[in-house]
Structure 1
Amino acid sequence: MIRIQNTDWHSHSELLSRIRYTVFVEEQQVPPALELDEHDEHADHFLVFSGDTAVATARLLDDGGVGRMAVLVEHRGQGIGLALMSHIIDRGRQLGFERLHLSAQEHALPFYGRLGFIPVGDSYQDAGIPHRTMTLALNPGPRQAVATEHFADAAFTCACQARRRLRIFSQSLEPELYANTFLVGVISRLARRHRITGVDLLMCDDQPLREGFHPLLALSQKLSSSIELRVVDPIHTSESQHFSVIADDQAIFAYGRHKDAPGWLAVNSPAQVKEPLESFHRMWPQGTTSPWLRRLP
């Protein structure tokens, strides 16, 4: 049983700094001078206790910045990080923040993506470790608008929500959206997770995939029992005005079928998913396996 406590630097600096030193300095080799800064004195801090033992921490700055997220290695894989971040998100809403932001180590992008954070900007180095900035709108309404330049990031965030089934409807698995290394990694992990998990890829035109390497095509050929790719004649897709990424019945990223059309993202929103998911279910049986894209014997 875990317990999360809101605190401050003056009350628990010894516990907070000990956890952070263990994770960042000893484990990740971050220079000690970079680990502590002037923001600690004024930040909201959080401690996670397992029994009487402090096992994790994080902080929230007055500009909505989340940082210094650290879970002791022997307590990872128990859902502590998700519980802590969910607590911080709720705290951000209580404090009236419109948006939270954080600097995520690249290996942790799927973790934060599962919580609805969207990557923005390019990768950068912090203490010698690759990072990406991520943001979360706390009160986006039923749909969060997504600009064209962030389509790939929204597709990734949506895919991170899938626990059982991910469905993608696209023109031709456009590489700028679907060849992203992090998205492919999320899909690979979902497809391998369990015999009941899987991915359905539905596309209108397979010609571009015949002309070069695409990591999702290669993955579907390797994991053909859990990733299925079908090609559908556009005549059978006329009812759908959007291409989409649909995670279970909970999350959707949708974008217009015409160039430069806007997109939108909805997370934890079955009402927004219902109609596009029903449309996907109607189109899927009309799709066929492309003879050009079958796995070679």
Structure 2
Amino acid sequence: MTADGPIQIVAVDYAGSLEALRAVREAVFVLEQQVPAELELDALDPRCRHVLARDAAGLPIGTARLAPDGRIGRMAVLRAWRGRGVGSALLQALLRLAREDGRDRVSLHAQAGAIDFYRRHGFVPVGERFMEAGIEHLAMERHLERPLAVDDRDAAVATTAAIVAAARRRLWIYSRELDPGLYDHPRVVEALRRFGTAGVAGEARILLQDAAAAQRAHAPLISLGQRLPSVFAFREVGDPVDRTYPSAFIANDAGGYYFRALGHRFDGEAGLDARARARQLADTFDAVWERARPCSELRALGL
């Protein structure tokens, strides 16, 4: 679900869901972006695998497709639903389909305004920018490293603790409000305590979207950071663009990561030896960290 209510992401039959697919794609591509209708609908559509996002009332709000050659395309989310994690959830669904098909690589043509979105999801540029349907694009691709599926809280706790335990000196944690049920779980807190007292000059950077909520909840990680201020550093995102980021993740400097497209949920993907993906998430984190506000109020003891 998103912060605004539950959504459903499903793989659909093209012929049976054509009306819903067209409703979204025509609204976004033809009406909003002025792409000619004869270019938007093509002969490849019936041969593609399609995913559809519906809101709580069952209305279509987003769609995307995976072509037979592994190219992702026609990624579209209605304007009112952008910035709420729908695009990330659609993309993750297509990546799962690609892995089920046995693919080791997917590609796409990213519109210029969506390049950073795809970078955050592990895609890298290929070649120079070009014009397509009157819009600037960039070819991008991602190699699929067969990540682990995380489906529930128990798996989330085990995965997070394993990533913390495997860290050498660096951890990056991006969270909305320190995820009750995860970062307050005794197993995760103990793993973080061990990291903080290992004596290896480690550093854990923690980015929050709502520091006050974590403070009000008396999150154990805040108390741990107060006892070990040289290890745990907290900042809160402030840039409006950063505050719309719907995902959450943890990464370490040993190639481990756990990424959740919808940050308030536990389901996601993880890898314990996926250095390229972990590094990409750390780079995304560091760019936001530089713009974020230090949470000096979380340093004081006796909250």
**TM-score normalised by structure 1 residue count:** 0.51
The alpha-carbon distance between structure 1 residues 248 and 128, as it changes in their structure 2 partners (threshold 3 A), is: same
AA partner of residue 122 (structure 2): G
What does residue 18 of structure 2 align with?
13
Is contact 2:51-2:93 (8 Å) kept? no
Whether 2:202 is the aligned partner of 1:196: answer no
- C-alpha RMSD over aligned residues: 3.3
AA partner of residue 136 (structure 1): R
Q: Deviations over 1:155-203 (max 9, x none)?
A: xxxxxx9959xxxxxxxxxxxxxxxxxxxxxxxxx9xx999269xxxxx
Is contact 1:59-1:69 (8 Å) kept? yes
Cα offset, 1:267, TM superposition: 1.2
The alpha-carbon distance between structure 1 residues 138 and 28, as it changes in their structure 2 partners (threshold 3 A), is: same
What does residue 47 of structure 1 align with?
52
AA partner of residue 130 (structure 1): E
Q: Which of structure 1's runs of 4+ aligned residues deviate more than 6 A?
A: none
Cα offset, 1:93, TM superposition: 0.6
Cα offset, 1:65, TM superposition: 0.6
What does residue 30 of structure 1 align with?
35
In the alignment, structure 2 segments of 5+ residues that lack a partner are 1-5, 148-171, 176-206, 212-233, 238-248, 256-273, 283-303
Partners of 1:86 and 1:268 lie apart in 2 by: 16
Partners of 2:126 and 2:139 lie apart in 1 by: 6
Aligned length: 169
Partners of 2:71 and 2:129 lie apart in 1 by: 18
The alpha-carbon distance between structure 1 residues 11 and 113, as it changes in their structure 2 partners (threshold 3 A), is: same
Is contact 2:99-2:146 (8 Å) kept? no
SS at match of 1:139: coil
What does residue 136 of structure 1 align with?
142
What pairs with 1:2-151 in structure 2 (closer than 5 Å)?
2-51=7-56, 52-139=58-145
Partners of 1:134 and 1:127 lie apart in 2 by: 17
AA partner of residue 95 (structure 1): D
Cα offset, 1:139, TM superposition: 2.0
Higher relative contact order (CA 8 A, sep 6+): 2
Q: Deviations over 1:197-239 (max 9, x none)?
A: 69xxxxxxxxxxxxxxxxxxxxxxxxxxxxxxxxxxxxxxxxx
AA partner of residue 33 (structure 1): E
Partners of 2:235 and 2:120 lie apart in 1 by: 20
Partners of 1:40 and 1:252 lie apart in 2 by: 41
SS at match of 1:10: coil
Partners of 2:118 and 2:28 lie apart in 1 by: 18
Is contact 1:60-1:88 (8 Å) kept? yes
Q: Which structure: larger Rg?
A: 1
In the alignment, structure 1 segments of 5+ residues that lack a partner are 142-160, 165-189, 199-246, 254-263, 274-297
Is contact 1:56-1:70 (8 Å) kept? yes
Partners of 1:162 and 1:120 lie apart in 2 by: 29
Is contact 1:25-1:35 (8 Å) kept? yes
